[in-house]
A and B are shown apart, each in its own frame.
Chain A
């Protein structure tokens, strides 16, 4: 059987060729290309087309400079080209106007700043240089990114740029909120997003109650987030737009922008709700058609609910296809199933001399083989080989005894009884080494975790330093990922941030290669937290948005909670309280298994955000809940161990 994953569809391969995939998707496509000669041939052929096109363009340019044939280029490509061309053209036009020194107040159609913006919007009719919706744009124009977008008339585009340059020049020196807004909007249409945001922020500070300015500022933040790969602007955009909506819940432009922002944050189900909410308020306009199109474009998350049925199939009569599906689409859940259910059950049955233990082994073998061939993880298959060796050497009793010790030591560690767990794990390790079981590595991970939680960081680091190359050598991917995880946390605790970053990136790559989504999302959360600590908000939110896209597919509820908790914490700390509230709601509504301590922290954080947004009654209610939950906690447990 060819265990290779199916070929990526053309849309995914083309997105790879255009460099617009997330790290996770890119690694999956690259791994596939390394295996599949056919997809490689397709990819390289397209790359070669581009070379030929570039050479043709060069040749044509040398012979006779002329614009490219309009129909050859796609609307999307044209938008991209025009977006990059706009600032240069604008600068040229602005310079020309300045040189002419025309009294521009008289050139403009309107006399006031409001009229200037209105004239900009009027000139922009039929064009939409930005994805977001500016205040006052009732006439629809297709956005740059969606398929089927109407081609732009070059003449209209030049007119828009000329008018925007005029507005910018005219009101540059005026010091009031409407003028600042006019300059900000003009800068945004010209593609100068940094200036647009700086100017609109000043305008918003001068007129804090203006929904018009706040909505335009949100659109500018959004535009910079997507165009300049600055996802750290998204919480700011969301906060501003939520402020508009708290005053004017039916503000159409703000509702539209809110849905765009939430989509860009990668929060699929929340984005669906946001688009539906827009459509409810505006069911018939062309904007609603676009909203529907965007709603349809939200890729449904791979349902985690498929796992229970698959697990049942694996429980009853496992087939190779079921095991392959489990490892391909539910790797994390399948690991937990193998380690916590099958393995534990086998240890109990074997220790009790139950004759059905052998039948269980044949079921374990199917799943272990799938892990070995599909995820490239040899841990479970090696365990079964070690078992067979022990049986052949008539050392079954010793083998079972060593694994009973393993099980007992793990129970202590999972029960957070680290002082007792450490010596028990050391004893279990010695016995597992004696029977040559690969689970000795698993025990060492648990030992390192116990040392870490006992604040014995240096011992944990030394242990992991020895363990990591060994498990990599044996291709025990899951142990390698977990070792990288703990290594990163230990280095972080020792303030060795560069080491922590390397380790987390190792974890990200290793989880990605093994198709372990839970660990991959966790690695993104850890890297985001690390970059927050290092003050690199842009990198932090790049990891958050890419992790958020797959959040709905995460099996372990506590990883989802940890991810959202980090996003909420950073939003609160940076004063993006409305964004923080969204993450809090997702945490409280969507995580039934939220640990009591985490819930208390979330509610306290939420109370602070509500207070900052002057929603005092709600803030008091949240604090009341937090106190109530806190009173119910008798003993504060340590947070979840990465090895468990």
Chain B
């Protein structure tokens, strides 16, 4: 079977993945066509270099999905610049993506962004729902970004260093679980599917790991009130509260920043 034939054989799968990506990321029709062409060119580039790299340790379906998704992020970066919606915004839907885009990328003030969305983009969500979305995204100008205790501790380099130390002692799996849960806001079932573990005890594992982090902070001499401010000072559901300290500690250079 030649690589050209292989592409032909796998075309339905390729189309399926492209369609799903377009759906997930709300591509316009013209963008979808452009991306389809980009994938085709990428697969054929350098005498099917990408297909030759397949080493048989996974299924073609997984391999092609991974390759095409990588291509998509490159395509998206070329289309919109390096900025792209956060995973949390993607999970919260198109209104959240648009709101984040306006506030973070285009530097709108939060209230202006909300007005702009309701007038120009005809988003028919009530104002308070949009502000709630902004709060959940932790956008500037929201309650989440204004919490005094958090900003005080966030500015304290000693606490930041202690948190980094505490996290560095966790296993790689636990660190990844925390990233996925608190930074990317992924559901437990999907985290379990990625790591091939049982989803049921996952919440307990997360609780255990966070209590380990808390203990580690205590042993490093961090004031109990500061720790409480980090872990318990927030409102809303427990995941939101945890996300606060997670964002504090993960404020480090990384590709998406």
A residues with a Cβ closer than 8 A to B are 2, 9-11, 13-15, 17-21, 27, 30-31, 33-38, 40-52, 69, 71-77, 80, 145-148, 150, 297, 299, 376, 472, 475, 509, 513
Q: Which of A30, A46, A77 contacts B176 (CB 8 A)?
A: A30
Cβ–Cβ contact B73 & A42, under 8 A: yes
Cβ–Cβ contact A17 & B62, under 8 A: yes
Known: A35-B254, A46-B66. A52 touches B20 (CB 8 A): yes
Contacts of A376 in B (CB 8 A): 168
Q: CA separation between A19 and B57, bound complex, in Å?
A: 9
Cβ–Cβ contact A11 & B55, under 8 A: yes
Q: Is B12's beta carbon under 8 Å from chain A?
A: yes
Contacts of A80 in B (CB 8 A): 59
Q: Is B156's beta carbon under 8 Å from chain A?
A: no
Q: Is B210's beta carbon under 8 Å from chain A?
A: no
Contacts of A75 in B (CB 8 A): 9, 60
The stretch of B108-116, B189-197, B236-244 that contacts the partner chain: B189-197
Cβ–Cβ contact B60 & A41, under 8 A: no
Known: A33-B176, A45-B21. A74 touches B56 (CB 8 A): no
Cβ–Cβ contact B69 & A42, under 8 A: yes
Known: A10-B50, A51-B193. 9 other contacts (CB 8 A): A10-B53, A30-B173, A34-B172, A48-B190, A51-B190, A74-B13, A297-B56, A472-B169, A513-B172
Interchain nearest-CB distance for B21 vs A (Å): 7
Known: A49-B17, A472-B169. A40 touches B60 (CB 8 A): no
Contacts of A19 in B (CB 8 A): 196
Cβ–Cβ contact B168 & A13, under 8 A: no
Contacts of A2 in B (CB 8 A): 253
Q: CA separation between A31 and B172, bound complex, in Å?
A: 5
Interchain nearest-CB distance for A286 vs B (Å): 13
Cβ–Cβ contact A44 & B184, under 8 A: yes
Cβ–Cβ contact A15 & B254, under 8 A: no
B residues with a Cβ closer than 8 A to A are 1, 6, 9-13, 16-17, 20-21, 24, 50, 53-63, 65-67, 69-70, 72-73, 87, 165, 168-169, 171-173, 175-176, 179-180, 183-184, 186, 190, 193-196, 253-256
Known: A10-B70, A47-B194. A77 touches B55 (CB 8 A): no
Q: CA separation between A38 and B194, bound complex, in Å?
A: 15
**From B25, which residue of chain A is reached at the shortest CB distance?**
A45
A-B residue pair count with CB separations less than 8 angstroms: 149
Cross-chain pairs A/B with CB under 8 angstroms, 5 sampled: A17-B62, A27-B172, A36-B255, A37-B255, A146-B56
Contacts of B67 in A (CB 8 A): 10, 14
Interchain nearest-CB distance for B251 vs A (Å): 13
| Secondary structure of the A contact surface, majority rule | helix
Interchain nearest-CB distance for A186 vs B (Å): 28
Known: A11-B53, A11-B54, A297-B56. A46 touches B172 (CB 8 A): no
Interchain nearest-CB distance for B92 vs A (Å): 15
Q: Which of A9, A30, A33, A77 contacts B60 (CB 8 A)?
A: A77
Q: CA separation between A475 and B165, bound complex, in Å?
A: 9
Cβ–Cβ contact B180 & A15, under 8 A: no
Cβ–Cβ contact B58 & A20, under 8 A: yes
Q: CA separation between A342 and B179, bound complex, in Å?
A: 39
Contacts of B58 in A (CB 8 A): 11, 14-15, 17-18, 20
Interchain nearest-CB distance for A480 vs B (Å): 11
Cβ–Cβ contact B180 & A40, under 8 A: yes
Interchain nearest-CB distance for A224 vs B (Å): 19
Q: CA separation between A530 and B72, bound complex, in Å?
A: 47
Pick from B6, B165, B255 the residue with the most CB of A within 10 Å: B255
Q: CA separation between A51 and B169, bound complex, in Å?
A: 32
Pick from B54, B57, B58, B176 the residue with the most CB of A within 10 Å: B58
